[in-house]
Structure 1
Amino acid sequence: MSDTPSLIRRTPWPQGASRPVVTPLQPSVVYASPDPDTLDAQYLGTNPGFTYAREGHPNAEVLAAKIDMLEGAEGGIVTGSGMAAVTAALMGVLSAGDHILGGDQLYGRSLRLMSQDLNRFGIATSLADSTDARAFAAAIRPETKMILLEVVSNPTLRVADFEGIAALARERGILLAVDNTFTTPRGFRPFDHGADIVIHSVTKILAGHSDATLGYVAAKDPALRKAIYDFAVTTGMTASPFDCWLAERGIYTFELRYDRAEANAAALADHLATLPGVRKVLYPTRADHPDHNRAVSLLGARGGHMVSFEIEGGRAQANALTRGAPELAFAPTLGDIGTTVSHPASSSHRNVPLEARAAVGITEGFFRVSVGVEDIELLKSEFTKAVAASQAVRA
C-alpha cells in the first residue's frame, strides 16, 4: 500500500489568527457531520451548522441577515429568484379553498400567477384597485386568507392605500403580504406598517448590478416562516452561493446607490415633463402624480428610483425611442447601477390582455425607466434625443 496521502481526500480549510475581510464564497453542496447524533441536532435546530445546500448554505444565510437588518425582520429566506419568493410565500401558506386578493397593478408575472396558476391548485384569486381600500373591502370573501400588495405598483407607479388596506387586513384577520422590490426598505418598511410577509426580488436594486438572480421572503410569525421555508426547500427554490456572494457585495453600496438613483429619478421626471411628445410622466413625489398626497404621507420625500412616462404615438414611435438612444440599455429589468428602459407592453405585461393593460394605462407608448447613478446631465441629454427620435416618426 502506498504511503502517499490520497488526493481524493479533502484538505482542511486553513486556519489562522487572522480572518478574511470579505465573506468567503462557499459553493459546497453538502456538509459532513461527525456522527448521527450531531446531524440529528442540526436538523432539530439545537446545533448550528449546514447539511445540504438546498436546505441552506453560508452565503445565503449571510445575505438574508443583511436584508433582515434593512427590513427589521428575522429569519428571512433567500430563494433562487424574486418570483420564487412570491411563489413560496403564497404556496407555502395558502391551501385549496383559500382565497387571495391582489392589487390590480402587480408585476406581470405575479398577475399571471394570480390569474392562471393558483386556480389550478384550488386557490381562488381576485384583483382590486390597490389605491382604494374600499375596493379591497368590497372584494374580500369569507375564505380570503391573504392580500398581496405592492406599495408602489410596477410599472404604473400608483401608490397603494396601504394604511387603509393594512387596517382592513388586521380587522378581518387576513394576512398581508407585500412585494417591496420597487420601494425597497430605504423607502418603506412594510413590517413597521402592519405587513405579515415581505418579499423582494433581490435581483433588482438590492444586488444592483444585473449579475445575480435571487429572491427574499420574510414573515413575522415563526410558523408562517417555517411553512414558507419548507415549501421553498421541498420545491428546490435554492439560491446559488455565487449569486448570494455577488448580491452581498452589492448590498454594501445599496444605500449610496439608491440615494443617487432617487435624486436622478426626480430630476429626470421633471425633465421628461418638459419634452415635446411626452404625454405624461409618473413619479410619486411630483405634484401631478394621481396619488401625490398619499405618496407624501406614506413615503415622505422618498420618490424612489423608478420613473414611468408615455409618449405620443404607438409601436412605431416606441421602436424609434429605443433606437434613438442606444446608450440607454433597453432591457426588461430594473435596479441596475446603470439606467435601463423597459416597454411593459412587449415585456412584463405582454401576457396581460390588451383591455386590462389599457385599463391601467399601459399603452404602446408607455415606458418604465429604472434610473441609475450616471451623471444627470448625461441622462437628460440621452432622453431628449430618444423622445425627439420617437416624435420624428410619422404616425
Structure 2
Amino acid sequence: MKRTLMRPDGLPDSLSTPVVTPLMPSVVYASTSPDELDSQYEGRAQGYTYAREGHPNADVLARQINRLEGCDDGLVVGSGMAAVTAALMGLTRAGDHVLGGDQLYGRSLRLMREDLPRLGIETSLADPTNVDAFRAAVRPNTKLVLLEIVSNPTLRIADIDGIAELCRDKGILLVLDNTFTTPKAVQAFDHGADVVLHSVTKLLAGHADVTLGWVGAKDPEIMQKMRIFAVTTGMTPSPFDCWLAERGMYTFDLRFDRTQDTARRLADHLATAPGVKRVLYPTRPDHPDAARAQSVLQGQGCNIVSFELDGGRAQANAFAEAAKGIAFAPTLGDVGTTLSHAASSSHRALTPEQRAALGITEGFFRVSVGLEDPDALIACFDDGLAAARKA
C-alpha cells in the first residue's frame, strides 16, 4: 500500500477560477521556509499565517466595505461591539478621557460607564445634538469622541459636522458609528471622521445569520493601532460568517432602498394611528432634528422607525403578542421586520430614570423594517395597535 502524508499537497490546478468566493476555514497557512515567513510578517510579501491575524474571507469582505466607506484599509472583527472596543481601547490609554454621545447603544454605554473607567480611562457623556454641550464636556485629556450618527433607538441626529470641527480644533479623534445610516446614507469620512465603524451583523449583511463588525481609518497609524489591539485580543471573525456577509453585501443597495421606502410608509401610517403617542423617523417634518436630518442624511431616512404607545408595559405586551408575523427580537437589518423593546433589551441595564431621560418609556418600540409587502406589514401593526388599545 502506498503511504501518503496526512495533508494534500495543495489544490488541484485549474485555468479557471470560481465565480463565488470559496469558503476558506483554515486556521493556519503553510509557508515554504522561515525566510518566506519573515517576508510575510515584515510586509515584503502578501500572505496568511494564522487566522487570528487575518484570513482570506475576512479580507474579501473588508474590501467590499472599504469601497463603500471610501477608505483603503478596514478590518473585519467578530462583532459590532468588537469594532467599538477596538477603536476605544486600541486608541486610548489610562489617563485619557473619552467623550461619548449620551444616547449610544446600550452596550456601548456600559463600556463607557463601567469597563473603560476600571482600566483607568476617564469617560463622560453629552448630548450629541448640541455641539455646545460637547464643547463644555471636553477636558484637557480628551483623546477621543464616540458618536452614533443616528442614535439607537431614539433616532436623534448627531451634529456630526459641528462636533467634527470641534474635534479638529482640539486635536481629538472622532469615531462615528455608521451602523444605522450605512454608507448609502452618510459618507462618514467626508464629515470629518477619523474612524468609522459598523455592526456588519445589521443592514450590511442583512440576513440575521452572521455576527460581525468592521472598523476603518484613513490614517495608517490609527488603523495599525486598532489592528494590533484586535489581533492581540482575539477579535477574529469567523470565515463562515464573512462568507455569508459577503453574499449579503451583493444585495445591500436593493435591500436598503426597499426597506427605506416601506419604513417611510409605516412611519406616516403610525403617525395618524389611534393609540400611538409619537413617531420618530428622520424624513418626517415632526422629527426633533428634521433640519439636521436633511443636511446630514440628504433625504435618506433608512429602515428604522421608532414609536411610543399610549400606556406602559401592559400595552407593550399586548402589542407585541398581537402583531403576528413580526418577530419580537432585539436586532435590526434582517430581511424580515423585527420589533425591539428597548426597556427590556438594549437599555435594560439603565435605571427607569436614565431611560426616561433618553425618552425611552415602557411603551417605546424600535422597528427594523424588512422586505415584506408594505400593506401586509401595516395590517400587522394595526392588529397590534388594536390589542394595545384594548389592554
TM-score normalised by the chain length of structure 2: 0.99
State percent identity of aligned pairs: 64
CA distance in 2, matches of 1:74, 1:346: 39
**1:72 aligned partner:** 70
Show the counterpart of 2:83: 85
Query: Which of 103, 106, 109 is residue 107 of structure 2 equivalent to?
Result: 109
SS for the counterpart of 2:243 is: helix
1:343 alignment partner in structure 2 = 341
Instruction: Provide the C-alpha distance between the structure 2 equivalents of 1:175 and 1:119, rounded to a whole number of angstroms.
Output: 19
Cα distance in 1 between the residues matched to 2:307 and 2:283:
14
Offset from partner CA, 1:131-156 (integer Å, 9 cap, x none): 00000000000000000001100000
1:306 to 304, 307, 317: 304
Q: Does 1:201 align with 2:218?
A: no
Classify the secondary structure of the residue corresponding to 1:368. strand
State the match for 2:174 in structure 1.
176
Match of 1:370 in 2: 368
1:274-298 CA-to-partner distances (Å, cap 9, x unmatched) read 1100000000110000000110111
After TM superposition, give the deviation of residue 15 of structure 1 in Å.
2.1
Q: How far does residue 201 in structure 1 lie from its aligned partner after superposition?
A: 0.3
Counterpart of 1:100 (choices 98, 101, 105) is 98
1-structure distance, mates of 2:171, 2:388: 50
Give 1:192-271 correspondences, 5 Å limit: 192-271=190-269
Q: Identify the match of residue 149 of structure 2 among 128, 138, 151.
A: 151
2:26 match:
28
User: What is the identity, as a one-letter code, of the residue corresponding to 1:74?
Assistant: D
The CA deviation at 1:3 is 2.8
Aligned to 2:123: 125
- Alpha-carbon RMSD across the aligned residues, in angstroms, is 0.8
Q: CA deviation at 1:10?
A: 2.0
SS at match of 2:32: coil
2:42 corresponds in structure 1 to 44
Instruction: Within 5 Å, give how 1:282-297 maps onto structure 2.
Output: 282-297=280-295
Q: Specify the alignment match of 2:14 in structure 1.
A: 16
Using the TM superposition, give the Cα deviation of residue 220 of structure 1 relative to its aligned residue in structure 2, in angstroms: 1.7
Structure 1 portions without partners, runs of 5+: none
Q: Which residue of 1 aligns with 2:189?
A: 191
Distance 1:53 1:351 in 2: 35
SS at match of 1:97: coil
Deviation at 1:11, TM superposition (A): 4.4
Name the counterpart of 1:327. Answer: 325
Match for residue 380 of structure 1?
A: 378
Question: Residue 356 of structure 1 aligns to which amino acid in structure 2?
Answer: Q
Moved segments of 4+, more than 6 Å: none
SS of the residue aligned with 2:215? strand
Q: Partner of 2:3 in structure 1? A: 4
Q: CA deviation at 1:203?
A: 0.4
Cα displacement (A) at 1:301:
1.1
- 1:79 and 1:277 map into 2 onto residues whose CA distance is 42
Aligned letter for 2:66? D
What TM-score, normalized by structure 1, do the two folds share? Answer: 0.98
CA distance in 2 between partners of 1:325 and 1:354 (Å)? 26
- SS of the residue 1:321 aligns to: helix
Cα deviation for residue 326 of structure 1 reads 2.3
SS in structure 2 of the partner of residue 112 of structure 1: helix
Q: For residues 284 and 61 of structure 1, what CA distance do their matches in structure 2 show?
A: 33
1:82-113 alpha-carbon deviations (Å, 9 max, x no partner):
00110011100100000000000000000000
Equivalent pairs counted in the alignment come to: 391
Over residues 7-48 of structure 1, what are the superposed CA-to-partner deviations in whole Å (9 max), with x where a residue is unaligned?
Answer: x13242122111100000000000000000110010011101
Q: Deviations over 1:301-340 (max 9, x none)?
A: 1011000000011111100001001210000000001100
Structure 2 unaligned runs (5+)?
Answer: none
- Separation in 1, partners of 2:9, 2:275: 65
- For residue 217 of structure 1, report the CA deviation from its aligned partner: 0.3
Distance across 2 between alignment mates of 1:322 and 1:15:
56
Question: What is the letter of the counterpart of residue 198 of structure 2?
Answer: H
Per the TM alignment, residue 200 of structure 1 is displaced from its structure 2 partner at its CA by 0.3
Separation in 2, partners of 1:326, 1:55: 44
Q: Is the partner of 1:68 in helix, strand or coil?
A: helix
Please report how far the alpha carbon of residue 386 of structure 1 lies from its aligned counterpart in structure 2 after TM superposition: 0.7
